[in-house]
Amino acid sequence: MKLSGVELLRVRMPLVAPFRTSFGTQDVRDVLLVRVVTATGEGWGECCAMAGPVYSSEYVDGAEHVLRNFLVPALLAADEVTAHKVAPLLAAYKGHRMAKAALEMAVLDAELRASGQSFATALGSTRDSVPCGVSVGIMDSVPQLLDVVGGYLDEGYVRIKLKIEPGWDVAPVRAVRERFGDGVLLQVDANTAYTLADAPLLARLDPFGLLLIEQPLAEEDVLGHAELARRIRTPVCLDESIVSARSAADAIRLGACAIVNIKPGRVGGYLEARRVHDVCAAHGIPVWCGGMIETGLGRAANVALASLPGFTLPGDTSASDRFYRTDITEPFVLKDGHLPVPTGPGLGVAPVPGLLAAVTTAKAWLGS
Ligand code: OSB
Ligand code: MG
């Protein structure tokens, strides 16, 4: 394909409730969308960067800047663009994986729409629905947390993830276990809020039979995670530290993770995400699909990815209404704790023009 142009759109969507993590509180999602246009059609990508560089070094204005000034011009200058050519075409530009991922996603969508194949089929899906977990933010009180968790269990979510930070860890986990029992699939996510000196504290989570503890230590502290894994019984799962298939292979070799959270944006796209899946599968490391508060576009692609065979744990692939009263696509609706894997060409969903227009704050066309 030759790209005739690329549109960058900024979309502002209020969250149904504030979402608090160890790195801050969000009540609105400022999303960057990418629409690539070819002679025969279009494709959609979503950039998962947050408003500020608080989860990782990328942030949405930075992603827009690097796309506009470096990444999009590189693709517009190429005579032949396919999804598999995007990473090599952009390889001269270091880092900026979330920005690259959004552009590659849009190209992949355009390519698959043109050929009539779904994301799921292209990635190697083996299931037509995926079990869904939900990520539960830090609350003001334990009773409030129990209400929220109870609501999600009533909705049918099959796994609960509690966000934790120092001062909000053992007590909320104990309370959820006491109220809802040992049968609930339960895990925690620290988003790098601890250090190795906290190992004795984190070992106090051992009796609660958690599925995993996600990213307790700093992004670059891979050896620290390996040491922590020797000092606690809860399996260590990495999120922020895994930025490529290579870093996954290294972390596994070092004993830093027993489980991996795969987020396509964090690793530079859905094609690299599949390679992370393959590396983990080859080592017997279970994976699950993370989330970055995606709109229906990113959600569709994540659900497709989560239907690959190595995704043996429920992901943060919650329904649209977990974060948004109104999505920009047809909403993803939970059924028996599962979401259906889209089957239509490409993402299988597209923005509904009126819904998209209602939340779009800026648009820029790059190309002729
Ligand atoms: O660490 O998994 C994370 C949201 C934003 C940034 C980082 C994370 C999260 C979540 C929410 O936990 C996942 C979701 O989209 O459901
Ligand atoms: Mg995480």
How far does the centroid of ligand 2 lie from the alpha carbon of residue 101, in Å?
18
Q: What is the pLDDT of residue 248?
A: 98
10-residue averages of pLDDT along the chain (368 residues): 97 98 96 97 98 98 98 97 98 98 98 98 98 98 98 98 98 98 98 98 98 98 98 98 98 98 98 98 98 98 98 98 98 98 98 98 96
Q: What is the pLDDT of residue 264?
A: 98
Which residue's CA is the closest to the ligand 1 atom numbered 12? 135
Question: CA–CA separation, 258 vs 63, rounded Å?
Answer: 31
Q: What is the pLDDT of residue 368?
A: 82
Residue 134 CA, closest ligand 1 atom number: 16
Whether residue 318 has its Cβ less than 6 Å from ligand 1: yes
In the block, which residue shows the tokens 């190429």?
78
Of 94, 263, 335, 363, catalytic: 263
Look up 163 and say whether it is catalytic.
yes
Whether residue 187 has its Cβ less than 6 Å from ligand 1: no
For the CA of 56, the nearest ligand: 1
Task: Provide the whole-model pTM.
Answer: 0.97
